[in-house]
Chain A
Amino acid sequence: MNRSARAGLPPLADDAHQPEIDTEDVAQACRGDQRAFERLYRAHAGWVFGLCLRLTNQRETAQDCSQEAFVAAWRALPRFEQRSQFSSWLYRIAVNTVLARRRRAGGLQLVSAETHAPELERVAGAGDAAGPIDLERAIARLPQRARDVLVLVGLYGYSHDEAAAQLGIAAGTSKAQLHRARSLLAAQLGLNAETV
């Protein structure tokens, strides 16, 4: 994933916590080593689950999608030619899994703002509940397309081109949806123009 092309957004606070790429584990997993793949799972499961949870807004669905994504990755690993980073490849699978499940479910899902709030509240930590959890709830309330773009571009570092390719929309549409998401978030959070 090209972090430098992050749509003009500031660096992510936890970039340093992005899972390290263990090329040896990837190579071993490509050769069928299940223990190596388990190590890759341990390294990337949090990001994959976080991504799925924010895209689906439903904990059980996010669990299913995470599981499907890792199984699909395991089966596709022999064809992974390491032209791209393993993490980028894996996250693409996760997003595709969410989108495929959404299509199977018959299109756009209704968004329940509270569906995964308890999970995110636990993650955010009680001491900081006034900050992140408000933002998580506001993100969950966004219209689906705007939320998709915000999650991919604003949170997980996709470029607009990458997000557009994954979502099947034009890059210009991605930019417009990000702008829309930011405006809606600002309104929900009561932020004025200076703080947006």
Chain B
Amino acid sequence: MNLPPKSLDEQLADLPRSIEPPPHIWPQIEAAMRPVGRSRSPWPLALAASVVVAAVSVMVTWKLLRAPTLPAAAMTGPALTQPVTAVSFALPQQAAYLQGRAQLERLFRERLTLLQPDTRAKIEANLAIIRNANDSIRQALEADPASPLLLQQLESTQRQELDLYTNVARNADPAIGRSSL
């Protein structure tokens, strides 16, 4: 007895979704993962060096910090002795990067309290703008993780955030006067 022909949907459903790739693909992927992705040396070395200061700053923050803004209490209080360490930028794919960023943010928060309230508010607003942009780009990357444009934008906002931290931490350092400015 002949079976009735399968419908198109049945035939489509019978197709295997999975097709075994050739075995040489994984070694090539593994090789591509090593140099770019997770080598452990760059961040610890960058942090240990602790000498690179970001050349580009967030201009609004820079201008804000040029005005004399520290309250008197800050000028007479104990100086923060922790040196400002500029953190070079890299995509946040390593624990060392995240740790370095967290340290810089802590210093930024400490030094931020030394600024006048209105200056502090403007810097916080700038930081919020940068972080909102960063969040939006991350959401877009969820849908299109391989987009070079989005990755470039993500890098840009993260660099801006680090630059802002660095500028505030450097320029509001009571150990060297009101600030470096």
Contact = CB atoms under 8 A, between A and B. Distances in A.
B143 interface: yes
Task: State which size class the interface on A falls in.
Answer: 35 or more
Given A38-B26, A63-B21, A76 B146 contact: yes
Task: State which size class the interface on B falls in.
Answer: 35 or more
Interface string A31-71: 11010011001100111111101000000000100111111
Nearest to B145: A76
Given A81-B138, A89-B142, A71 B16 contact: no
A34 B30 contact: yes
A91 B10 CA distance: 24
Contacts, number: 152
B36 A75 contact: yes
A37 B34 CA distance: 13
Interface stretch (A11-19, A105-113, A169-177): A11-19
Secondary structure of the A contact surface, majority rule: helix
A180 interface: no
A80 B13 CA distance: 31
A154 B12 contact: yes
Closest 8 CB pairs of A and B: A46-B18, A49-B21, A50-B19, A78-B93, A76-B145, A13-B13, A72-B146, A32-B38
Interface of B: 4-22, 25-26, 28-30, 32-33, 36-38, 91-95, 138, 141-147, 154
Interface of A: 9-14, 17-18, 31-32, 34, 37-38, 41-42, 45-51, 53, 63, 66-81, 83-84, 89, 92-93, 96-97, 100, 119-120, 123-124, 131-132, 135-136, 154-156, 165, 182, 185-186, 189, 191, 195-196
19 contacts: A17-B17, A32-B37, A41-B26, A42-B26, A45-B20, A46-B21, A49-B21, A50-B17, A71-B29, A72-B146, A75-B91, A75-B93, A76-B141, A78-B91, A79-B145, A92-B144, A135-B12, A155-B12, A156-B17
